[in-house]
Chains A and B, each alone.
Chain A
Amino acid sequence: MTEPTINFEQRGAIGIITLNRPEQRNAITAQMVAELREIRASVGWDSGIRVFVLAACGADFSAGTDPDSLQQFTQREEQIRHHTVAAHIASLPQPVVAAINGAAFGQGLELALACDIRIAAHGAHFSMTQISGDDMPFDGGTQRLPRVVGRMKALEMILCGAVIDAQEAKEIGLVNRLVPQEALLPEALKLAEDLAAKAPLAMKYAKEAVMKGMDMTLSQGLRLEADLYFLLHTTGDRREGIEAFREKRPPKFREK
């Protein structure tokens, strides 16, 4: 039996997903894709997980697609079918925090783009490397990158394949926060704990309103937001949140 390439650990309300092929710089294989998809499928709405952290073992987040793994599929359709995974991560209703160290290249960057809040270590670096290999991003990068950094910067990265450093990534909005290398995982887990203490339904609905709403006209998005808001009115957590605020005590949310 082959060694697992992804570690998954549930620590209370936090699900920690770790890319674990450090010797190969976490280059993404079909096996990793299959394991990530399996984890996604196993964490339903009732799993008790309120926040995910996506991290990586070793010096790099991910060097991109493993070429040997990709080339075992001769047809482009098969490659897409067996080697894409970002959409599975993006479809998680809970917030996902990415902890990025070292290289986040190619499909590794595409995977990070499927997360909601990206924390990077000083020294992290980012590149859409596919163009140098006579290829293009195929795991959502051409769509998610411009939505995060804008059209011009995205085209520059996708067409030129240049490597940008953590500071520039912060400036263009590709990462939300920069921390020292040794603080990366502690900061990501601390953020996840903060998020896990907040109202889980409100968090899921806010994510849904933002992500789905960006694909709609403003008018349609406003209606989606209002509908989710009124749905939230029917939950016990909303009452608890307001009551706790008025009684100046921390709220206890039950996701109900």
Chain B
Amino acid sequence: MIVFETLIVEKADTVVVITLNRPDVMNIHNTAMRDELYEVLSAIREDDETKAVLFRGAGEKAFCAGADLTEFLTAPPPATARAVRFDADLWELFTTMPQPLICAVHGYCLGSGIEIALCCDIVFASDDARFGLPEIGLGIIPAAGGTQTVPRTVGGSAALDMMLTNRWLTAHEARRAGLVNRVVPRERLLTEAHAALRRIAARNPRTVRAAKEAVNRGLDLTLAQGLELERRLVLALWGQI
């Protein structure tokens, strides 16, 4: 187990559990968390032993209640902030991780919380989870991929409804919208998420990675290109190219 300032990272056999660990402030995302996630995910990406990753939030109240606004007004000038972002682009890294990522959401899941969840491949939510994108009310837009990942998950119109009107969804509404895969009672959340994690870890990691790549990269391609990608990945698995 490695304890960072904002994260706890535990590796057990072939799976890694990453806990957002700022429970006193509902695990809100700050620059320290950004830098630590970048460091941890960069290491996991290169680690062939790690077959799957689980994200969760510490404390009772929230998976992640958004971004740390106390940092916003001391942010560097826009040109500097942009250079810093693209110099170590956490969100590009997050959305291109080769291993399957599972997210276990409880309580508040707002702003960056949704954006972290949607960088993952499978999202479990406890029945008390609440989802919202309050950024526009603050004069900003989601900027951890939310304007891209949310419409790709729930459609443009539902995404705009959440973003523009700050409409919050219950866990069951989020499931119907396609934002989460499964809703479970709070006390079962981690058990269910771990069970899925173990099922994935029990499979051939090359097959699992190929399937994830085919789906996620394929969604960015035309159908013909996606089918060609799938064919190549299958042939590679069979050792024929």
**What is A's interface to B at a CB cutoff of 8 Å?**
95, 116-118, 147-150, 173, 176-177, 191, 194-195, 198-199, 201-203, 205-207, 209-211, 213-214, 217-219, 221-222, 224-235, 237-243, 245-246, 251, 253
Contacts and interface: CB of A to CB of B under 8 A. Distances in A.
Contact of A218 (B95, B142, B159, B164): B95
Contacts of A176: 157-158, 161
Contacts of A194: 165
B119 to A, nearest CB: 10
Contacts of B141: 202, 205-206, 209, 225, 228-229, 232
A245 B143 CA distance: 18
Interface in B91-138: 91-92, 95-96, 135-138
A181 B175 CA distance: 28
Q: What 10 A-B pairs are tightest by C-beta distance, nearest first? A: A241-B139, A209-B147, A229-B143, A221-B148, A199-B139, A233-B78, A217-B220, A241-B138, A230-B82, A238-B139
A242 B158 contact: no
A228 B142 CA distance: 10
Contacts of A147: 155-156
Contacts of A238: 138-140
10 contacts: A201-B139, A206-B136, A206-B164, A218-B148, A219-B95, A222-B145, A226-B85, A240-B139, A241-B140, A253-B139
B238 interface: no
A202 B136 contact: yes
Nearest to B154: A173
Contacts of B95: 218-219, 222
B160 A206 contact: yes
B81 interface: yes
B165 A191 contact: yes
Nearest to B138: A241
Nearest to A173: B155
Chief secondary structure at chain A's binding surface: helix
A239 to B, nearest CB: 7
A95 B164 contact: yes
Nearest to A98: B157
Given A195-B164, A206-B147, A229 B140 contact: yes
Interface of B: 69, 72-73, 75, 78-79, 81-82, 85-86, 89, 91-92, 95-96, 135-143, 145-152, 154-161, 163-165, 177, 216, 219-220
Contacts of A202: 135-136, 138-141
B148 A213 contact: yes
B220 A207 contact: no
B136 A203 contact: yes
A195 B165 CA distance: 6
Contact of A117 (B79, B82, B160): B160
Given A203-B136, A221-B148, A210 B143 contact: no
A68 to B, nearest CB: 32
Contacts of B155: 147-150, 173
A210 B151 contact: yes
A148 B164 contact: no
Given A225-B145, A245-B138, A207 B164 contact: yes
Nearest to A209: B147
B120 to A, nearest CB: 14
B143 A225 contact: yes
A226 B139 contact: no
Contacts of A116: 156-157, 160, 164
Contact of B82 (A173, A222, A226, A235): A226
Contact of B139 (A219, A225, A232): A232
A213 B148 CA distance: 6
Given A214-B148, A218-B145, A232-B140, 12 more contacts: A176-B158, A198-B137, A199-B136, A199-B140, A202-B138, A210-B147, A222-B91, A226-B143, A227-B82, A239-B73, A245-B138, A251-B139
